[in-house]
Amino acid sequence: MKQGLSLRVSQHLALTPQLQQSIRLLQLSTLELGQEIQQMLDDNPFLDVQSEDLGEESGVAASDAPSQRDETGGEGTFEPAATAAESTSASTSDAEPGEFGGEEGPSWEGDGTTETVADDGEWGGDAPAARRNNNGEDDEVDATELARGTESLQTWLHRQALALRLSEEDQVALRYLIESLNDDGYLEESPEQIAQGLAPDDLEQQEELVHRFTMALRLLQSLDPPGVGARSLFECLTLQLKPMHEDDPGDEAVAAALKICGQPIDLLAKRDVKRLAQATGESEANIKAGIGCITRLEPKPGRRFVDVERNIVVPDVLVTQVGRGTRANFRVQLNPDVVPRLRVHDVYAGALKAHRGEGHQALQQRLQEARWFIKNIQQRFDTILRVSTAIVERQRNFFIHGELAMRPLVLREIADELGLHESTISRVTTAKYMSTPFGTFELKYFFGSALGTETGGNASSTAVRALIKQFVAAENARKPLSDSQISDMLKEQGIECARRTVAKYREALRIAPANLRKEL
pLDDT value, residue 392: 93
User: Smallest Cα–Cα separation from 437: which of 386, 383, 407, 392?
Assistant: 392
Please report which confidence band the pLDDT of residue 308 belongs to, taking 50, 70 and 90 as the band edges: low
Range with lowest mean pLDDT among 111-120, 162-171, 503-512: 111-120
- Residue at which a domain ends, from 387, 409, 426: 387
Evaluate if residue 104 carries a pLDDT over 50: no
Q: Do residues 483 and 509 both lie within one domain?
A: yes
User: Smallest Cα–Cα separation from 345: which of 366, 323, 322?
Assistant: 366
Q: Does 56 fall in a domain? A: yes
pLDDT value, residue 82: 36
Q: Do residues 376 and 358 both lie within one domain?
A: yes
Q: Do residues 405 and 512 both lie within one domain?
A: yes
- Residue at which a domain ends, from 277, 304, 331: 304
Question: How far apart are alpha carbons 195 and 215 in whole angstroms?
Answer: 13
Evaluate if residue 192 carries a pLDDT over 50: yes
Evaluate if residue 80 carries a pLDDT over 80: no
212-221: b (≥16 Cβ within 10 Å) or e: bbebbbebbb
User: 228: which DSSP letter?
Assistant: T
Evaluate if residue 170 carries a pLDDT over 80: yes
Is the Cβ–Cβ distance between 344 and 73 less than 8 Å?
no
User: 308: which DSSP letter?
Assistant: G
pLDDT value, residue 329: 85
- Higher-pLDDT residue of 474, 67: 474
For 398, how many CA atoms within 13 A lie in the half-sphere containing its CB? 26
| Strand 115-116 relative to strand 439-442, pairing | unpaired
Question: How far apart are alpha carbons 47 and 57 in whole angstroms?
Answer: 19
Is the Cβ–Cβ distance between 118 and 84 less than 8 Å?
yes
Q: Do residues 26 and 120 both lie within one domain?
A: yes
Burial class (CB in 10 A: 0-12, 13-18, 19+), 133: exposed
Q: Do residues 26 and 126 both lie within one domain?
A: yes
Q: Does 471 fall in a domain? A: yes
Q: Does 9 fall in a domain? A: no
- Residue at which a domain ends, from 184, 201, 221: 221
Q: Does 352 fall in a domain? A: yes
Long-range contacts of 171-178 (CB under 8 A, 24+ apart): 173/209, 173/212, 173/213, 173/215, 173/216, 174/216, 174/219, 174/220, 176/213, 176/216, 177/213, 177/216, 177/217, 177/220, 177/229, 178/154, 178/220
Question: How far apart are alpha carbons 288 and 277 in whole angstroms?
Answer: 9
pLDDT value, residue 6: 84
pLDDT value, residue 374: 92
Q: Do residues 205 and 239 both lie within one domain?
A: no
Residue range of the domain that includes 201? 153-221
Q: Do residues 375 and 457 both lie within one domain?
A: no
Q: Do residues 40 and 97 both lie within one domain?
A: yes
pLDDT value, residue 142: 54
Please report which confidence band the pLDDT of residue 401 belongs to, taking 50, 70 and 90 as the band edges: confident
pLDDT value, residue 69: 35
43-53: b (≥16 Cβ within 10 Å) or e: ebebbbbbeee
Q: Does 10 fall in a domain? A: no
Give the CA dihedral 13, 16, 20, 21, nearest 10 degrees. Answer: -160
At 360, which amino acid appears?
A: H
Please report which confidence band the pLDDT of residue 196 belongs to, taking 50, 70 and 90 as the band edges: confident
Q: Does 27 fall in a domain? A: yes
Is the Cβ–Cβ distance between 209 and 172 less than 8 Å?
no
What percent of the chain is predicted at pLDDT more than 70? 78
Is the Cβ–Cβ distance between 118 and 335 less than 8 Å?
no
Q: Does 3 fall in a domain? A: no
Evaluate if residue 406 carries a pLDDT over 90: no
For 340, how many CA atoms within 13 A lie in the half-sphere containing its CB? 24
Instruction: Look up the pTM and report it.
Output: 0.61
Is the Cβ–Cβ distance between 346 and 67 less than 8 Å?
no
SS3 (DSSP) at 215: helix
Strand order across the 115-116 sheet: 115-116, 329-334, 317-322, 433-436, 439-442
Q: Do residues 68 and 111 both lie within one domain?
A: yes
Please report which confidence band the pLDDT of residue 310 belongs to, taking 50, 70 and 90 as the band edges: low
Q: Does 270 fall in a domain? A: yes
CA torsion sign for 298, 304, 310, 314 is positive
Question: How far apart are alpha carbons 253 and 294 in whole angstroms?
Answer: 9
Q: Do residues 403 and 512 both lie within one domain?
A: yes
CB neighbours of residue 18 within 10 Å: 18
Please report which confidence band the pLDDT of residue 151 belongs to, taking 50, 70 and 90 as the band edges: confident
Which residues make beta-bridge pairs with 318?
333, 435
- Higher-pLDDT residue of 146, 424: 424
What percent of the chain is predicted at pLDDT more than 90? 24
CB neighbours of residue 206 within 10 Å: 19
Q: Do residues 413 and 512 both lie within one domain?
A: yes
In the chain, how many domains are there? 4
Q: Do residues 318 and 298 both lie within one domain?
A: no
Work out the end-to-end distance of the chain between its first and last CA atoms, rounded to an integer number of angstroms. 85
